[in-house]
């Protein structure tokens, strides 16, 4: 895949993750699960989703050359 | 006990700076950017510690006391996404260009990129103006925290003075290497103390499940985001962390990286650090309604201190105070050093002594400016009103709205100096206008959006239109 295509795909993935930040349904759910409300669990889960996505982005579309990484 | 813990802590961090002094090579590059030698772990910790202020501990719990767990969505998980993306998109490229061109400050980069000396000076003035309230928050926050934690036994001026003196010692002696080391230590301190405080308090309240059931009985609306924090507001808040892309102290820390690889851990693990610090703060704020109902306005910022005093007085109170001081100092040190660096290189060297300063003189001037910045900030903190905290929030708005400048400079070859000027002027004029409007109308928004959104969109448009209609005669990128 070309660098340009990689950049566009990465941008698209990041845009989807950004939109997932809005918690439409879960934000109104105050039921407690292991002591924390579902509304908070959603955003804690979101933080870990970002971790996994960034692992992929770093591996797949790292913007620096190998020489820069040494 | 509390004062003893704080003084012990301050001596410890000053000592770390003094140890870093032994490694100082006496060159400007070593003092200002640690010879670009900082590895992955210290880079992550120093960037995170620099970004997090006392607000993440005291302010977050105070906000959660009033608005509930939705505060985490508003301020924490938005940063958990936006900040690593900014590091990935902006930080890595700035590091590479900085290394290639030998840049030490933001202004040097923009001056070179747009080939305009006056633009560099204007940007310098705007950055300094936006930084002043941000610095004041730290110094004033230290004074207020120490006074509240010791139940007014220690006056407010003392807390600010202690913080300024200790920062002066380790920043002047250790330069950016000392600052990065101290920040790493302080980030670990406030992260661990936050988790420990949360654990002890929730256990004393009968366990988290039981304590939260009590919250559900008293104020169930605190367990949901609710209508008060609409999704429009949540989206608006995602613009605020864009400010990290234009903070001079973040820029300075990016330049310290040993290699591009060092950024990878920061980009990946930043959201984990956010979660570790913010979850305890937000939950403790929410739990505060059980023991301390009816706190009004800013009084809620002391809810964490009150919870600790009630459930775990003594040592934990002292440790919490040390944690708050750690959060304050880990930002204030980098901010004062970045301003010292900018004064040295963007004013003194650029306008008069470019080839006449030895490496040793650069370090001396840098130290003198750090001392000057801290002295002026401390003196200002004695005379300004507490409403400066509101101005601090506006500081973030200004930095966030400047983000199109750096994005265009890095990614858009056709971006021109006229576009850059228009972008900067739009931010200045728009910022002043919105600030005045917000002073007149409490809770001011523009069609439900926070001013930061409108300002960022308009500054982006200014950059695009200015560059489109007034291109550079010859691209210099």
ipTM: 0.94
Averaged over A53-64, what is the pLDDT? 91
Q: Which of B77, B220, B261 shows the shortest C-beta gap to A69? A: B261
Cα A24 vs. chain centroid, distance in angstroms?
Answer: 17
CA distance B88 to chain A (A): 8
- The answer to whether A37 faces chain B, any CB pair under 8 Å, is yes
Alpha-carbon span B401 to A58, nearest angstrom? 27
Asked if B389 and B407 sit in the same domain, the reply is no
pLDDT of residue B390: 66
Contact: A29, B224; criterion CB under 8 Å: yes
Pick the last residue of a domain from B394, B425, B445. B394
Asked if B310 and B357 sit in the same domain, the reply is yes
Asked if B318 and B261 sit in the same domain, the reply is yes
Mean of all residue pLDDT scores within chain B: 87
CA distance B83 to chain A (A): 11
Q: What is the largest CA-CA distance in chain A?
A: 51
pLDDT of residue B36: 86
- Where would I find the H helices in B292-314? 303-311
pLDDT of residue B460: 97
Q: Which secondary-structure segment (H or E) carries A37?
A: strand A36-37
Contact: A50, B78; criterion CB under 8 Å: no
Q: Are B198 and B273 within 8 A, CB to CB?
A: no
Asked if B293 and B406 sit in the same domain, the reply is no
- Domain range for B291 is 2-394
CATH classification at residue B273? 1.20.1730.10
Asked if B6 and B108 sit in the same domain, the reply is yes
What number of C-beta contacts closer than 8 Å exist between A and B?
Answer: 127
Pick the last residue of a domain from B333, B361, B394. B394
Cα–Cα nearest to B75, from B298, B219, B274 = B274
Pick the last residue of a domain from B339, B371, B394. B394
pLDDT of residue B57: 73
Residue B428 tokens, joined = 């200045």
Cα–Cα nearest to B90, from B314, B243, B271 = B243
- Burial of B372 (C-beta count, 10 Å sphere; 0-12/13-18/19+): middle
Asked if B183 and B252 sit in the same domain, the reply is yes
Asked if B172 and B298 sit in the same domain, the reply is yes
Asked if B464 and B381 sit in the same domain, the reply is no
pLDDT in tens, B29-72: 787 788 888 999 999 999 998 988 777 777 788 889 998 999 99
Alpha-carbon span A33 to B97, nearest angstrom? 48
B168-189 per-residue burial string, b: 16 or more CB within 10 A, e: under 16 = bbbbbbbbbbbbbbbbbbbbeb
Asked if B269 and B189 sit in the same domain, the reply is yes
Cα–Cα nearest to B13, from B254, B273, B322 = B322
At residue B474 the predicted structure's pLDDT band, cuts being 50, 70 and 90, is low
Q: Which of B77, B207, B213 shows the shortest C-beta gap to A43? A: B77
Cβ neighbours of residue B358 under 8 Å, at least 6 residues apart?
none
Nearest CA in chain B to A28: B224
Among A50-54, B99-103, B199-203, name the most confident range: A50-54
State phi, psi for A32 to the nearest 5 degrees.
-90, 130
Q: Which residues of A touch B76 (CB under 8 A)?
A: 43, 47
Q: Is residue B316 pLDDT above 80, yes or no?
A: no
Q: Are B428 and B126 within 8 A, CB to CB?
A: yes
Between B147 and A67, the more confident residue is B147
- Which of B210, B229, B275, B453 to probe by mutation at the A interface, max A CB count within 10 Å? B275
Averaged over B370-397, what is the pLDDT? 81
pLDDT of residue B376: 92
- The answer to whether A29 faces chain B, any CB pair under 8 Å, is yes
What is the number of structural domains in chain B? Answer: 2
Contact: A63, B207; criterion CB under 8 Å: no
Contact: A58, B73; criterion CB under 8 Å: no
Q: How far is CA B419 from CA B244, B359, B412, B452, B476, in A?
A: 21, 36, 11, 20, 14
Kindly provide the residue ranges of all beta strands, DSSP E only, lying in B28-91, ordered along the sequence: none
Q: What is the DSSP string of A5-16?
A: HHHHHHHHHHHH
- The answer to whether A4 faces chain B, any CB pair under 8 Å, is no
Contact: A14, B85; criterion CB under 8 Å: yes
Between A29 and B79, the more confident residue is B79
Contact: B260, A64; criterion CB under 8 Å: yes
Asked if B375 and B413 sit in the same domain, the reply is no
Cα–Cα nearest to B21, from B179, B256, B165, B186 = B179
Q: Which residues of A touch B231 (CB under 8 A)?
A: 22, 24, 27
Q: What is the DSSP string of B141-177?
A: HHHHHHHHHTTTSS-HHHHHHHHHHHHHHHHHHHHHH
Q: Which of B70, B223, B271 shows the shortest C-beta gap to A47? A: B271
Contact: B81, A17; criterion CB under 8 Å: yes
Q: Which of A47, A63, A64 shows the shortest C-beta gap to B272? A: A47
- Burial of B310 (C-beta count, 10 Å sphere; 0-12/13-18/19+): middle
Kindly provide the residue ranges of all beta strands, DSSP E only, lying in B342-440, ordered along the sequence: none
- Which of A3, A27, A33 to probe by mutation at the B interface, max B CB count within 10 Å? A27
pLDDT in tens, B255-301: 999 988 999 999 999 999 999 999 999 999 999 999 998 888 777 87
Q: Which residues of A touch B211 (CB under 8 A)?
A: 35
- The answer to whether A44 faces chain B, any CB pair under 8 Å, is yes
pLDDT of residue B176: 83
State phi, psi for B24 to the nearest 5 degrees.
-65, 130
Residue B174 tokens, joined = 């250790």
Q: Is residue B184 pLDDT above 50, yes or no?
A: yes
Q: Which of B93, B202, B272 shows the shortest C-beta gap to A51? A: B272
Cβ neighbours of residue B288 under 8 Å, at least 6 residues apart?
B61, B65, B295, B300, B303, B304, B306, B307
Contact: B223, A14; criterion CB under 8 Å: no
CA distance B212 to chain A (A): 6
- The answer to whether A15 faces chain B, any CB pair under 8 Å, is no
- The answer to whether A22 faces chain B, any CB pair under 8 Å, is yes
Asked if B101 and B232 sit in the same domain, the reply is yes
At residue B477 the predicted structure's pLDDT band, cuts being 50, 70 and 90, is very low
pLDDT of residue B406: 97
Beta bridge partners of B449: B446
Q: What is the DSSP string of A31-43?
A: -EETTEEHHHHHH
Averaged over A26-35, what is the pLDDT? 87
End-to-end CA distance of chain A: 25
Asked if B192 and B255 sit in the same domain, the reply is yes
């Amino acid at each position: 895949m070309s660098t340009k295509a990689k950049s566009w795909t990465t941008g698209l993935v990041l845009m989807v993750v950004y939109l997932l930040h809005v918690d439409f349904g879960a934000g109104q759910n105050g039921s407690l699960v292991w002591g924390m409300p579902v509304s908070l669990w959603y955003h804690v889960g979101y933080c870990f989703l970002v971790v996994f996505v960034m692992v992929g982005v770093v591996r797949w579309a790292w913007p620096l050359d190998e020489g820069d990484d040494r | 006990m509390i004062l003893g813990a704080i003084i012990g802590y301050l001596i410890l961090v000053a000592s770390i700076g003094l140890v870093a002094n032994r490694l100082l090579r006496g060159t400007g590059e070593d003092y200002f950017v640690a010879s670009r030698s900082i590895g992955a772990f210290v880079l992550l910790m120093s960037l995170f510690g620099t970004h997090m202020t006392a607000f993440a501990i005291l302010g977050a719990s105070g906000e959660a006391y009033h608005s509930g767990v939705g505060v985490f969505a508003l301020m924490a998980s938005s940063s958990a996404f936006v900040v690593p993306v900014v590091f990935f998109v902006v930080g890595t490229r700035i590091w590479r260009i900085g290394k290639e061109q030998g840049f030490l400050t933001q202004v040097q980069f923009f001056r070179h990129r747009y080939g305009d000396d006056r633009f560099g000076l204007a940007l310098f003035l705007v950055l300094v103006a936006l930084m002043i309230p941000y610095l004041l928050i730290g110094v004033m926050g230290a004074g207020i925290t120490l006074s509240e934690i010791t139940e007014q036994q220690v006056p407010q001026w003392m807390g600010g003075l202690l913080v300024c003196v200790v920062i002066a010692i380790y920043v002047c002696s250790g330069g950016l290497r000392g600052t990065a080391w101290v920040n790493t230590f302080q980030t670990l301190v406030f992260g661990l103390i936050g988790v420990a405080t949360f654990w002890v308090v929730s256990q004393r309240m009968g366990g988290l499940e039981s304590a939260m059931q009590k919250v559900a009985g008293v104020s169930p609306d605190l367990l949901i985001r609710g209508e008060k924090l609409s999704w429009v507001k949540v989206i608006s808040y995602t613009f605020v962390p864009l400010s990290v892309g234009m903070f001079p102290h973040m820029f300075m820390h990016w330049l310290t990286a040993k290699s591009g690889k060092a950024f990878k851990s920061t980009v990946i693990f930043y959201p984990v650090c956010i979660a570790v610090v913010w979850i305890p703060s937000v939950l403790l704020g929410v739990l505060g309604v059980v023991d301390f109902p009816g706190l009004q306005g800013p009084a809620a910022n002391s809810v964490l201190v009150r919870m600790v005093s009630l459930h775990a007085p003594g040592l934990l109170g002292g440790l919490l105070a040390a944690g708050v001081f750690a959060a304050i100092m880990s930002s204030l040190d980098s901010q004062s050093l970045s301003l010292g660096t900018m004064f040295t290189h963007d004013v003194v060297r650029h306008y008069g002594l470019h080839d006449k300063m030895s490496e040793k003189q650069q370090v001396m001037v840098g130290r003198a400016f750090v001392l000057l910045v801290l002295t002026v900030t401390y003196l200002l903190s004695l005379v300004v009103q507490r409403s400066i905290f509101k101005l601090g929030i506006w500081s973030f708005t200004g930095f966030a709205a400047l983000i199109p400048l750096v994005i265009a400079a890095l990614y858009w070859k056709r971006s021109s100096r006229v576009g850059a000027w228009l972008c900067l002027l739009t931010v200045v004029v728009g910022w002043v206008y919105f600030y005045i409007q917000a002073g007149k109308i409490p809770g001011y928004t523009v069609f439900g959006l926070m001013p930061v959104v409108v300002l960022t969109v308009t500054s982006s448009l200014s950059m695009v239109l200015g560059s489109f209609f007034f291109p550079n005669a010859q691209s210099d990128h």
